[in-house]
């Protein structure tokens, strides 16, 4: 239940960070200003006795986040891919959150499997291992099918995970409302809509049937992608809290030493990860939105294997084109066009100055080009972007939140493989290919064909639609005037014209 009682949850958050020693560590890693450091510690210190103690055998950051619960663990997973923001030491420490959290017992996992699938584990599997990976929401066991002997991965949700997430999300809603109340300028960021979006994503991740469906759709889309593969889902052994899929052998993407020993080219892997993500986002509009190192392996043949499809992103075709044009404009350093796209899409209020906005975008983009990637502070870049968006009144686009977050995560993965990678150079061929196929004359013809096909479906109903319009226009309650009669005649002829045009265009385009 959302309400002031969540204040206790938030106080405990700060108190836990202070009690475990994570507050100072995080402030140092993120190079927080002295005023922020002092304020945070001043507010948290008196209440540290309310903080969770956590597992004292863990380092401070891990101890705090795991004690606070699954939603906080999710944030830690994101930062584990961003050494440029939190530093190499803390990023390496947080990587444990991806798949090495404390597991729950095998007995509980077997009980959940039996309850969901309707059969005892021994009737389905000849082997069922201890947990091989444990994350914030579920853990994975390696098993062997009793009938075929094939190895599989069995994913099982954590007991009580739904209730745990509910508590955290309620607290986040409370924070969002307080932010909007105390800082009216923040309303343009739509904090409550952001939390609502996060809640929707989490709810999808808590139903493994939806994850299985996402994996199936994703597999259909990437059939022709070279160097990329997905494990197949076993639908007959999957349900809401249990999912079974092929076992994926390979070197974890986060194990650089293992990748080197296996003879893989880490620089090429980093480029491929970035390009695959952009292809999935732009070409398909359906992408893996949790592509951190814990969800990626490299097979002996060099193929990248992705798994854990609980968080998938979807963007419509129009938004994809806008996003591609923005990226393409930055790549070409055409900041005027990037600014125009923002205005055309309604991302920036129409009363703002497009030239001034273009200059602000130039200040964001120019430092990226001609510099070593290791010299670019993404934290500083994002901070400046925030100032720009605030100055020009841009509102948070909730449909792009997941895309932007995943872009940050994937870039972090690529940089962990190759610190010298330049995201713009790697993205250029993918974006150019999308622009060529989707914003040229051929794309215009495809759009016209789609429009005509939609109109053609209304062809048989046009007489009825026109008749209903005429009846509404001539009701007794409305005084009949010549202008109204002429309007009816106009709609009648427009309906006839559209019907005729639709028939002709369908015939021409279909031939």
Q: Which active-site residues does the annotation give?
A: 290
- DSSP H helices in 131-241: 161-182, 191-205, 208-221
- DSSP H helices in 30-105: 34-44, 60-68, 70-79, 83-86, 88-94, 96-99
Can you tell me the distance from the alpha carbon of 325 to that of 15, in angstroms, rounded to the nearest whole number? 45
Cα angle 96-42-34, degrees, rounded to a multiple of 5: 75
Which secondary structure element, helix H or strand E, spans residue 80, and what is its range? none
Bridge partner residues of 297 (DSSP):
252, 305
* Coil, helix or strand at residue 324: helix
Bridge partner residues of 229 (DSSP):
305
Closest by Cα among 29, 123, 8, 117 to 76: 29
Bridge partner residues of 242 (DSSP):
156
Diameter over CA atoms, the chain:
85
Can you tell me the distance from the alpha carbon of 158 to that of 160, in angstroms, rounded to the nearest whole number? 6
Q: Which residues of 380-389 are buried (b: 16+ CB within 10 A; e: fewer)?
A: eeeeeeeeeb
Closest by Cα among 375, 335, 386, 328 to 357: 335
With beta carbons less than 8 A apart as the criterion, state whether 137 and 158 touch: yes
Closest by Cα among 328, 366, 358, 331 to 342: 358
With beta carbons less than 8 A apart as the criterion, state whether 73 and 101 touch: yes
Which secondary structure element, helix H or strand E, spans residue 31, and what is its range? none
Q: Classify the phi-psi angles of 308: left when phi > 0, otherwise alpha if psi is within -120 to 50, otherwise beta.
A: left
Closest by Cα among 215, 426, 186 to 312: 215
Closest by Cα among 167, 121, 165 to 145: 121
Sheet holding 138-145, edge to edge: 125-134, 138-145, 151-157, 242-246, 233-234
């Amino acid at each position: 239940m959302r309400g002031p009682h969540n204040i206790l949850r938030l106080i405990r958050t700060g108190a836990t960070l202070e009690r475990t020693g994570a507050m100072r560590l995080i402030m140092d890693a993120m190079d927080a200003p002295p005023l922020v450091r002092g304020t945070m510690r001043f507010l948290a210190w008196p209440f540290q006795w309310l903080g969770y103690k956590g597992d004292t055998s863990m380092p401070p950051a891990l101890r705090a986040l795991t004690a606070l619960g699954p939603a906080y663990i999710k944030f830690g997973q994101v930062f584990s891919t961003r050494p440029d923001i939190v530093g190499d030491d803390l990023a390496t420490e947080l990587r444990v959150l991806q798949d090495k959290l404390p597991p729950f017992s095998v007995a509980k996992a077997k009980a959940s499997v039996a309850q969901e699938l309707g059969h005892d584990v021994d009737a389905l599997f000849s082997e069922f291992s201890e947990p091989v990976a444990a994350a914030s929401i579920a853990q994975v066991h390696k098993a062997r099918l009793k009938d075929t002997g094939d190895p599989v991965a069995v994913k099982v949700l954590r007991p009580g995970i739904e209730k745990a997430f509910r508590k955290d999300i309620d607290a986040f809603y409370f924070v969002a409302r307080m932010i909007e109340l105390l800082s009216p300028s923040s309303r343009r960021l739509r904090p409550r809509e952001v939390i609502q979006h996060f809640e929707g994503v989490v709810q999808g991740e808590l139903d493994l049937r939806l994850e299985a469906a996402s994996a199936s759709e994703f597999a259909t889309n990437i059939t022709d992608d070279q160097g990329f593969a997905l494990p197949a889902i076993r639908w007959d052994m999957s349900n809401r809290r249990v999912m079974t899929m092929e076992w994926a052998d390979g070197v974890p993407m986060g194990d650089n030493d293992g990748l080197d020993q296996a003879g893989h080219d880490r620089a090429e892997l980093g480029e491929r990860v970035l390009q695959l993500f952009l292809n999935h986002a732009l070409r398909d509009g359906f992408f893996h939105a949790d592509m951190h190192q814990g969800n990626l392996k490299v097979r002996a043949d060099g193929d990248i294997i992705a798994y854990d499809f609980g968080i998938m992103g979807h963007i419509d075709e129009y938004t994809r084109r806008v996003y591609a044009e923005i990226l393409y404009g930055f790549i070409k350093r055409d900041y005027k066009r990037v600014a125009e796209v923002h205005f055309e899409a309604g991302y920036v209020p129409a009363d703002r100055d497009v030239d001034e906005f273009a200059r602000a975008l130039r200040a964001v983009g120019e430092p990226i080009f001609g510099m070593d990637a290791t010299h670019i502070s993404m934290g500083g870049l994002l901070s400046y972007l925030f100032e720009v968006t605030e100055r020009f009144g841009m509102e948070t686009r909730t449909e792009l939140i997941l895309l932007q977050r995943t872009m940050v995560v994937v870039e972090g993965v690529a940089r962990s493989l190759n610190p010298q990678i330049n995201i713009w150079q790697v993205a250029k061929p993918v974006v150019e290919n999308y622009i060529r196929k989707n914003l040229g004359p051929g794309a215009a013809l495809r759009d016209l064909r789609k429009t005509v096909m939609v109109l053609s479906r209304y062809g048989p109903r046009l007489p009825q639609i026109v008749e209903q319009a005429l009846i509404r226009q001539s009701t007794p309650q409305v005084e009949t005037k010549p202008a109204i009669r002429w309007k009816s005649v106009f709609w009648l002829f427009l309906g006839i014209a559209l019907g005729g045009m639709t028939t002709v265009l369908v015939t021409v385009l279909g031939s």
